[in-house]
Structure 1
Amino acid sequence: MALPSALLDDLATGMDALEDLYREFHRMPELSMEEHRTAERISEFLRGLGLAPFVCGGTGVVAELRNGDGPVLAYRADTDGLPIEEATGLPYASRATGTLPDGTETKVMHGCGHDTHIVTGLEIARLLATHREAWSGTVVFLFQPGEETAAGAAAMISDGLWDRVPTPEAAYGQHISPFTAGGVRLAVGTAMSMADSLRVTVHGRQAHGSQPENAIDPIVLGSHIVTRLQTVVSREIGGTDMAVVTVGTFHAGTKENIIPDRAELTLNIRTFEPEVREKVLAAVHRIIEGEAQASGAPAPTVEEMYRFPRCFNDEAEAEALLTAFRTELGEDAVGVAPPVTGSEDFGHFPDSLGIPGVYWFFGGYSAETVEKGIPGGNHSPFFGPDDVRTSLDTSVRAGLAALLTRAGA
């Protein structure tokens, strides 16, 4: 079923205002779990629709839109920015700053496009609140903080989210990506990987650089760990399984002639299947501990930084949405996507209730830009979608189509 013409006409009429709202949020990104101004602006907009938003999970915002009998559905949009200095050159580029948990001051930008997610969610809420004749039921809007650190969804659930709103029977979300605006891509089954990030501190014994016999060198130890970790995927994981093990940072020492007493590494691990995840994590821990023993060093300290769930698209629900998207956007605009190795904490919402969830992607760049080469994808300082109008039109229509597959009048 295509969307009612009244919804589409209203979307087209309001597009200038929607682009202005997008530019407003683009200019004011905030770091994960620090989205205070963002939450207030979202709440202000929702109150203007006659809704009663409330804060959940620190800086998350929840609003319930009731419209008679019918299914209860959840729609989620994430709201946080990234510690990146924007280099897009856009006239509305972010100049915002923030403070990281360790006290470091940083520039902040919406380098993953969460500004588009916010305004898409707000516009869907506006259209549904305005055109109640087009649907029936209840939509719970979840404006979630802290996606980039995997903290936000869990925080909202821990804050009693599902005790404060009706229980949804399905949950939906979407994400902008660096492909042609006007298109959507949807995976059936696994959509995005699980992720585990670890901070590893290896402990040695400090000594003068000229007297290594008096030291336990944590740099040599850490180097062996880094090298050995490369064999986890290449020698322990089957060729039909997906796993990525990345050592993202390695810090040690203060001076060239001092062997330090410790070194710190941070690791990022991606997998699609729970069994593979556990196998990789077990191998990583075994190697870290084994290399320390081989060096005669104390046991390393291993801390979990964050943990993303698998983002899994319920197969029956995903197939229904593919049909809805093709009807609304056209056959050529809709693609079935393979799983991607990026991660999302959206999965916490459907998983916590045992309900189907579906998460898809929409494009953000003009065909000309895609053809000559996109300057930067997600998490790049150059990430700046250049066909915002088409992108937002597509994301709003896709979100409405998803909701109306169950709640359409």
Structure 2
Amino acid sequence: MNRLSSPRVKKFGLALALFLLGFPTFAQGESPAEKAKPIQKWVADSSDSLIEVYRWFHTHPELSFQEKETANRLAKILETAGYEVTQGIGGHGLVAILKNGDGPTVMFRTDLDALPVTEATELIYASQKQVTLEDGTPSGVMHACGHDIHMTNVVGVARFMASHKDLWHGTLMIVGQPAEEKGEGAKAMLDDKLFERFPKPDYALALHVDPFMSTGTVGYRGGYAMANVDSVDIVVKGKGGHGAYPHVTIDPIVQAAQLIVDLQTIVSREVAPSDPAVITVGAIHGGTKHNVIGNTCHLQLTVRSYGDEVRKQLLDAIRRKANATAESFRAEKPEITVKEGTPSLFNDRQLTQAVVETLNGVLGDEKVVPVDPSMGGEDFSRYGLAGVPIFMFRLGSVDAKRLARFEQLGQKPPSLHSPLYYPDAEDCLATGVTASTAALLSLFETKTDNR
């Protein structure tokens, strides 16, 4: 892993601490707020064009691994800005490279895909797209998780960096990643030799909108920020028969019900209270008719954790409980299938500290807030597991007055994946582009050792 070797230190205190850690502050004689002024002016002047880009992405959503039109649009924008763009990586993934002399390679990632959600916002630019899903179900398609904001943010960052090459030196690597919603896109790009075909970055950044934070603010968390996500399928086996004669059957539904109760004690009685963990039985499928006891019952679980030890503890306990319950019912052992989703996201602590110091200076301490870790999943984590220091921060996306109205009504604002969620795009993007660009400029002020 690279270590920064020549930071330019403005002052003592935290700046000295960052120097000792090998991370930069802004150039001597120039405060972060002063450094941000050209970014903020550019963002203000570019607001209309960015909103136009945002609305195009919002009205043209595409599902995971189907992002062809989205990727083509983003690629064209980046090529026009002067980037060398390669498409078709891990599906519809793309990489855009802008070289600007010697310096570190810094990656900024955006996700491309949307969700099978029928939009209900009634916005004039609401998605009208309809598709038929693989199971034959009709559905709308919507950017209900903010990936349209993420892509537009990258467009703003990319355009600024290309038009202000006098402010930085190094290589900027924009990654447009497919299929984040399936948790498979990062793996697909890495399996397609992302870091062999292109420079392996010294650092990687990303952001994600937050529906509960006000525009103008960003949130951060060093260390574990998002969870391991595992999906577990358990097929409980019984012996079918007539509902009037249960004594000659082995009822898989009763067995499944017992198992569901037993599973609740894993987190509450086996995992240390200091270790966050979740086991949720999200679906149960069993039986066909009032008076028929079936042969099987199917349970579907989501399992969340942070560390590898707790993950193993949870999965081992699920297997143990399922097998023990089957034995107590004189039943055949169940079929247990574990599908790994996304690994936990661990924000590099030193990189986090360095970027947060920059953002404090640019946005103000009161606008840069620590946040709790989430039990949600995010496959940006895989770039960290590939040996790149990573940092993902959260971007406030809802106007403070709108949040206040929800609070007055005793309501929570619509969450991500809700058909009613929408960001206040102009203010959200102003903060996102400013924060992202300032973070990049700070990192490009460093010199790195050879790998």
Q: TM-score, normalised by structure 2?
A: 0.86
For 1:375, the equivalent position in structure 2 comes to: 413
Is the 8 Å Cα contact of residues 58 and 155 (structure 1) preserved in structure 2? yes
Q: How far is 1:290 from its partner?
A: 1.7
Pick from 13, 31, 39: which aligns with 1:7?
Answer: 39
Residues 170 and 350, structure 1, Cα contact 8 Å, conserved in 2: no
Paired residue for 1:40? 72
The answer on 1:170 being equivalent to 2:208 is: no
Secondary structure of the corresponding residue to residue 84 of structure 2: coil
Offset of residue 101 of structure 1: 4.4
Q: Where in structure 2 are there 5+ consecutive unaligned residues?
A: 1-25, 27-31, 407-411, 447-451
Distance 2:338 2:74 in 1: 32
Deviation at 1:103, TM superposition (A): 4.5
Distance 2:79 2:89 in 1: 16
Q: Does structure 1 conserve the Cα–Cα contact (< 8 Å) formed by 2:231 and 2:338?
A: yes
Structure-1 residue corresponding to 2:409: none
1:188 counterpart = 2:222: yes
Contact 1:30/1:98, CA 8 A, preserved across alignment: no
432, 435, 443: which is aligned to 1:406?
A: 443
State the aligned residue count: 407
Mark the structure with the bigger radius of gyration: 2
Please point out which of 62, 85, 94 is paired with 2:95: 62
Equivalent residue, structure 2, for 1:391: 428
- Measured in 1, the distance between the counterparts of 2:52 and 2:302 equals 37
Q: SS where residue 139 of structure 1 aligns? A: strand
Identity of aligned residues (%): 38
1:369 CA displacement: 1.3
Q: Which secondary structure does the structure 2 equivalent of 1:379 belong to?
A: coil
1:278 aligns with 2:316: no
Does structure 1 retain, via aligned residues, the 8 Å contact 2:93–2:178?
A: yes
1:153 aligns to what?
186
Partner of 1:117: 150
One-letter code aligned to 2:208: H
Residue 85 of structure 1 and its aligned partner are, at CA, apart by 1.6
Question: What CA deviation, in whole Å up to 9, does each residue of 1:5-44 have, x standing for no partner?
Answer: 4433222111111112111111222222222221121122
How much does 1:398 deviate? 1.3
Q: Which moved more, 1:230-239 or 1:258-267?
A: 258-267
Question: In the alignment, which residue of structure 2 is the partner of 1:215?
Answer: 249
> Which residue number corresponds to residue 5 of structure 2?
none
Alpha-carbon separation, structure 2, partners of 1:336 and 1:217: 50
Q: Could you tell me whether the CA contact under 8 Å between 1:65 and 1:138 is conserved in 2?
A: yes
Determine whether 1:366 maps to 2:404: no
Distance 1:98 1:299, change over 3 A: farther
- 2:49 corresponds to 1:17: yes
CA shift in 2, pair 1:31/1:204, >3 Å: farther
Equivalents in 2 of 1:133, 1:4: separation in Å? Answer: 14
Give 5+ residue unaligned stretches, structure 1: none
What is the CA–CA distance in structure 2 between the aligned matches of 1:87 and 1:320, rounded to whole Å? 40
Task: Spell out the pairing of 1:207-246 with structure 2 (5 A cutoff).
Answer: 207-246=241-280
CA gap of 1:91–1:157, structure 2 versus 1, over 3 A, is: same
Query: Would the aligned equivalents of 1:22 and 1:115 in 2 still touch at CA under 8 Å?
Result: yes
Q: Tell me the SS of whatever aligns to 1:45.
A: helix
CA distance in 1, matches of 2:324, 2:137: 34
